Amino acid sequence: MDKLPTRNKLLHHFYEHWRPQLGTETIPIDEAEGRICAKSYQSGNQIPLVRSSAFDGIAVKSASFSDGMPDTSVWIKDQDFCRADTGDDFPDEFDTVIRIEAVTFLPESGVKLDLSKEPVPGEGVRTSGSFMSKNDELVKEGDILTPLSLTSLLAGGYTTVEVKARPRVVFLPTGSELIKPGTPLTRGKNIETNGSLIKMIMSKWGADVTCLPICYDNHDSLRNAIFTALDSADILIVNGGSSKGNEDFTVHLLEKESSFFTHGVRCVPGRPAVFSLIQDKPVINLPGPPAAALAVLSWGIKDLYYHAMGSDAPHSYQEVILTETVSGAGPFDLYQRLFLYKKDGQIYGKPFSMKDSNAEVNQYCNGYTILHSDQSYLAGSPILADRLFSSVR
């Protein structure tokens, strides 16, 4: 068991053998939030192009102040000064801006300035390129595009952006005991729920997810289903049949058909997960139990999904206080589901235990942490948690 690779080693080893080959597409910037940028972009614009006022005020000639404070009561608008509000350009004969709060406009003409000292040339002026310079780097290949970085692209002169294609994820549930949701439960049957879990979570990452009909435990049908699925998949997830059961065909089939194959990870639940490559595409055998499927999805498939697009998986890590002591899982790391909640300004993580029903776990679980092998974690100690879906209340 100790020989099983850690999560990091497993993924690292997998990435050494896998060269993702996703295409790209060019889309409108307003539709690109969360997508992965396919190339670097530099600004085509210099903003402001010449200069602009840093605040609401009047633009003046600094030379007027070279011999001390001038008699501004005789100033003529648009000759000795002009209005220049925040972001405004102004004529070249002016070079300095005075805040409007220091200016009183006199009834006839002229102004009264309430200044403690003469303005320095260039004061109150944003210089050319001070907001954005031509050729400033805006985004890099592999960046996850955010509303902010996308506004930089707009300012830099772009209206579309080239992004990595959304990976096509195909989910193949296997197991003769499985029935479609909505089918009345009968003895020995179990409702297929992992497909919806994968679809809901991965769609949020931007994946294009297709869930196939349940494939019953039959070697030839499973083989057919896998190869048909590969025609339209960039990533294939085969669920169930990962362990040692009589009908656990998946693991053997993948071992036989793959160019790269690794079975097992030093983390529970999810220990018998398979990461393999067929036709240079990742084929993951996700263990059937829903807790195992969630664990492998969180640390493994998410990483791999973003790696396919040349990016790193985003996480919402946060230090929280563990509310109950948890002993680890011996030589295995433990994927510990948590209920994250806020009390008196502090965020806590309540670990679920084997005693908690699935209904209770699924009702409250909104995060997880991974506890290291051979360690106990005491109630009251800080741990690093990652959010799963909903925000913490």
Ligand X SMILES: Nc1nc2c(c(=O)[nH]1)N[C@H]1C(S)=C(S)[C@@H](COP(=O)(O)OP(=O)(O)OC[C@H]3O[C@@H](n4cnc5c(N)ncnc54)[C@H](O)[C@@H]3O)O[C@H]1N2
Q: Least CB distance from residue 375 to ligand MOO, whole Å?
A: 18
From 65-73, 267-275, 276-284, 333-341, give the range in contact with ligand X by CB under 6 A: 267-275
239 half-sphere exposure, CB direction, 13 A CA radius: 31
Q: Least CB distance from residue 185 to ligand X, whole Å?
A: 12
Q: Which is nearer to ligand X, 57 or 288 (CB)?
A: 288
Expressed in angstroms, the distance from the first to the final Cα of the chain is: 39
Q: In whole angstroms, what is the distance from residue 67 CA to residue 174 CA? A: 88
Binding to ligand MOO (CB under 6 A) within 258-297 occurs at: 268-271, 287, 289, 292
Q: Which is nearer to ligand X, 187 or 343 (CB)?
A: 187
CA distances from 373 to 49, 220, 267, 302, 331 (A): 58, 39, 8, 22, 5
Per-residue binding letters, 292-331, with ligand MOO (x by CB under 6 A): x---------------------------------------
Q: Least CB distance from residue 354 to ligand MOO, whole Å?
A: 11
Q: Of 57, 156, 206, 287, which one interacts with ligand X (CB under 6 A)?
A: 287
Q: Which is nearer to ligand MOO, 269 or 300 (CB)?
A: 269
- Residue 240's binding partner out of ligand X, ligand MOO, none, with CB under 5 to 8 Å set by partner kind: ligand X
Per-residue binding letters, 288-327, with ligand X (x by CB under 6 A): xxx-x-----------------------------------
- Residue 117's binding partner out of ligand X, ligand MOO, none, with CB under 5 to 8 Å set by partner kind: none
Q: Please enumerate in sequence order all residues whose Cβ is within 8 A of that of 129, keeping only pairs 6 or more positions apart, or say none.
A: 46, 47, 48
Residue 147 identity: P
Please give the structure tokens belonging to residue 15: 């990435």
Q: Say which DSSP state 165 is in.
A: P
Q: Please enumerate in sequence order all residues whose Cβ is within 8 A of that of 208, keeping only pairs 6 or more positions apart, or say none.
A: 166, 167, 168, 169
Q: In whole angstroms, what is the distance from residue 266 CA to residue 263 CA? A: 10
Q: Least CB distance from residue 218 to ligand X, whole Å?
A: 13
The three-class DSSP label of residue 231 is: helix
Short-list 164, 209, 139, CA closest to 310: 164
Per-residue binding letters, 242-261, with ligand X (x by CB under 6 A): xxxx--x-------------
Q: Least CB distance from residue 373 to ligand MOO, whole Å?
A: 14
Phi–psi pair at 107, nearest 5 degrees: -60, -45
Q: Least CB distance from residue 293 to ligand X, whole Å?
A: 7
153 half-sphere exposure, CB direction, 13 A CA radius: 26
CA distances from 315 to 37, 181, 322 (A): 18, 30, 19
Short-list 99, 146, 137, 133, CA closest to 119: 99
| Rg (alpha carbons) of the chain, rounded to whole number | 31
Q: Of 239, 258, 366, 369, which one interacts with ligand X (CB under 6 A)?
A: 239
Residue 108: count other Cβ atoms within 10 Å of its Cβ. Answer: 7
Q: Which is nearer to ligand MOO, 167 or 300 (CB)?
A: 300
Contact between 147 and 32 under an 8 Å Cβ cutoff? The reply is no
Per-residue binding letters, 154-193, with ligand X (x by CB under 6 A): -------------------x-x-xx-----------x-xx
Q: Which is nearer to ligand X, 149 or 250 (CB)?
A: 250
- Residue 239's binding partner out of ligand MOO, ligand X, none, with CB under 5 to 8 Å set by partner kind: ligand X
Q: Which is nearer to ligand X, 196 or 232 (CB)?
A: 196
Q: In whole angstroms, what is the distance from residue 41 CA to residue 43 CA? A: 7
Residues near ligand MOO, by CB under 6 A: 268-271, 287, 289, 292
> For binding to ligand X (CB under 6 A), which residues are involved?
173, 175, 177-178, 190, 192-195, 239-245, 248, 269, 271-272, 287-290, 292
